[in-house]
Chains A and B, each alone.
Chain A
Amino acid sequence: MTRPHEDTLLYLDNVTVSFDGFRALNALSLVMERGEMRAVIGPNGAGKTTMMDVITGKTRPDEGAVIFGRDTDLTRLDEPAIAALGIGRKFQKPTVFEPLTVWDNFLLALAGDRRPQFTLWARETEAESDRIEAFLATTRLGDLRHRRAGDLSHGQKQWLEIGMLLAQDPQLLLVDEPVAGMTDAETAQTAELLREINRSHSVVVVEHDMDFVRALGVKVTVLHEGSVLSEGSIDHVGADPKVIEVYLGR
């Protein structure tokens, strides 16, 4: 498998996924550098979520390869194996473990041994508590540490989930519509948080909200009907006639 660049973190090569004849992804190719933050936009059904599914092992492509890092083919691995390699995923709808406390949600997310034979005997270490304290501070959930995650507001759950993603300490974060249902102020805070995260992690953000994408100020990939329609800065893709046609109707 040839890779375009030495610093490539993720390389989708000609990936095709069909569901009952519908091509959700159509020979999609995409290259991401290490340390990059990339926004992926596109109309409904463009294949954004399917692309996330393929990268995280939920869906196996019919054709093509997904290379992570030097030469790991993700299409051969399942979800836990891919998570262990350092790819974290945040879902569109916030999914936190509702009956567990905020603290325990972080505890389960912290990077570490995931096997039952370990967790059966595991005791919380001081290092773990310290790290959880740090994430509580980042996500401003310190006062709610002993509350059930199910009791949090929508925005707080989104933050908890992003915090849990950080606790996994992944190399690459996939974030699906992080600001859906957020207030303007929360949206701005989230953009700031993602930029902060991007200092030490590579991030892919799937988003509908154009203002949010503009606020991130990163390279944008526009998907349409399962392949890349346009790529570049937000102003570049915004001026692209193909993109305008897709977004403003034909």
Chain B
Amino acid sequence: MNRFAVFFCVVAVVGGAVTLAALNLNTALGSPWHVPPYVVSLVGKYLCYAILALAVDLVWGFGGILSLGHAAFFALGGYAMGMYLMRQIAGRGVYGNPVLPDFMVFLNWKELPWYWHGFDNPIFAGLMVVAVPGLLALVFGWLAFRSRVSGVYLSIITQALTYALLLAFFRNDMGFGGNNGLTDFKDILSYPLQADATRAGLLVVTASVLAFSLMLAYAIVASRFGKVLIAVRDAESRTRFLGYRPENYKLFVWVVSAIMAGIGGALYVPQVGIINPSEFSPANSIEAVIWVAVGGRGTLVGAVLGAVLVSGGKTWLTGALPEIWLFALGALFILVTLFLPAGIIGAFRRAPAPLPAPEPAE
């Protein structure tokens, strides 16, 4: 994890996205250079996953907090975006109700629940994308870190958190579309979601957000704060006796990470066209941890690389041999743990030169 790697990754992500978008929009359908629209959306999706992976690496790689529920923040950001996109449909749904989304008409609801108000405003919705995951993380983290819950116990609680949200969002009377979730979106900020230009634009925006998140995460871990965070990760009680309050350090990075994940989720929803409760499933959060482990925990750049590579592999394998994907994922995790404990990036890092023999004590 050095400045050069981060810089290179930022350039590659933004440059790659802009190139793909340009090749999609500016080449003819039959041209060998043409990038089909589904590739644009697919890469956009991978980059959203990369934002989630970065969020996981920030807390796990540097704070030692193994979150097995980070997809919850991703999904909450996604739902906030989904609610905005639902309100944008306004009257163009199957039932043609000017205010109520289709699923509410179907459930025979007469008026919009209070918590759906305001989501027709993109600025308010954007605020919620940040505020909902951020506040949940703040409350959860405040309680957990203050009571010094850590390690496996914390991981289990995060898993329980995302599972509880999964069950809650499955319920029809929660008002988030139940099992089916939110879908059938028409446009975003008045741009039609089906248009190639909109999809290309979303890809470039996602790449820029990823690049910004990467630089932000790097700035945090390279600061003195980041050094304390690493100290907390490896010797928490020692930092206390030095006068630091580890709970405050963890809480800050936890909330930043949750917000990052939430923004990733918000960008994900318009590109895949749906958000439903399965995004809360514990397996998603575990997959995110695997991305980070494969790319290299505590390297930031590795998280991005791992997310893109493993998701790419998943797309290919679930197309070619759908039934073996989960076995392949499990095997990948075991192999990486055994042979690349520091991940792909970690394997490329130079081993430190051997120390000179300690000076004889006179």
Contact = CB atoms under 8 A, between A and B. Distances in A.
Interface of A: 56, 58, 78-80, 83-84, 88-89, 91, 95-100, 104, 107-109, 114-116, 119-122, 124, 140, 144, 147-148, 151-153, 155-156, 164, 168, 183, 185-186, 189
5 contacts: A109-B242, A122-B223, A122-B224, A164-B242, A189-B362
Contacts of A95: 235, 238
B241 interface: yes
Nearest to B248: A116
The 10 closest A-B pairs by CB, nearest first: A83-B243, A79-B240, A153-B358, A119-B225, A185-B361, A119-B224, A97-B231, A120-B225, A122-B224, A95-B238
A80 B243 contact: yes
A151 B357 CA distance: 11
A168 B244 CA distance: 12
A97 B234 CA distance: 7
B227 A100 contact: yes
A121 B226 CA distance: 11
A89 B242 CA distance: 8
B92 interface: no
Nearest to A58: B237
A99 B230 CA distance: 8
B355 interface: yes
Contacts of A148: 352
B225 A83 contact: no
Interface residues of B, number: 29
Contacts of B248: 115-116
B242 A189 contact: no
B245 A80 contact: yes
Nearest to B249: A116
Interface in B277-319: none
B252 interface: yes
B352 A151 contact: yes
Contact of B361 (A58, A151, A189): A189
A97 B64 CA distance: 14
Nearest to B240: A79
B259 interface: no
Given A99-B230, A119-B227, 15 more contacts: A79-B240, A79-B241, A80-B244, A96-B235, A97-B230, A97-B235, A108-B224, A108-B239, A109-B242, A115-B245, A116-B228, A116-B248, A164-B242, A168-B243, A185-B362
Contact of A89 (B235, B241, B359, B362): B241
Contacts of B205: none
Given A79-B240, A148-B352, A151-B355, A114 B245 contact: yes
Given A97-B234, A185-B362, A121 B223 contact: yes
A135 to B, nearest CB: 14
A186 B358 CA distance: 12
B220 interface: yes
A218 B358 CA distance: 31
B133 to A, nearest CB: 20
Contacts of A185: 360-362
Interface centre among A56, A88, A119, A168 (most CB of B within 10 A): A119
A151 B239 CA distance: 20
Contacts of A80: 240, 243-245
A163 to B, nearest CB: 13
A146 to B, nearest CB: 10
A114 B243 contact: yes
Interface in B246-268: 248-249, 252
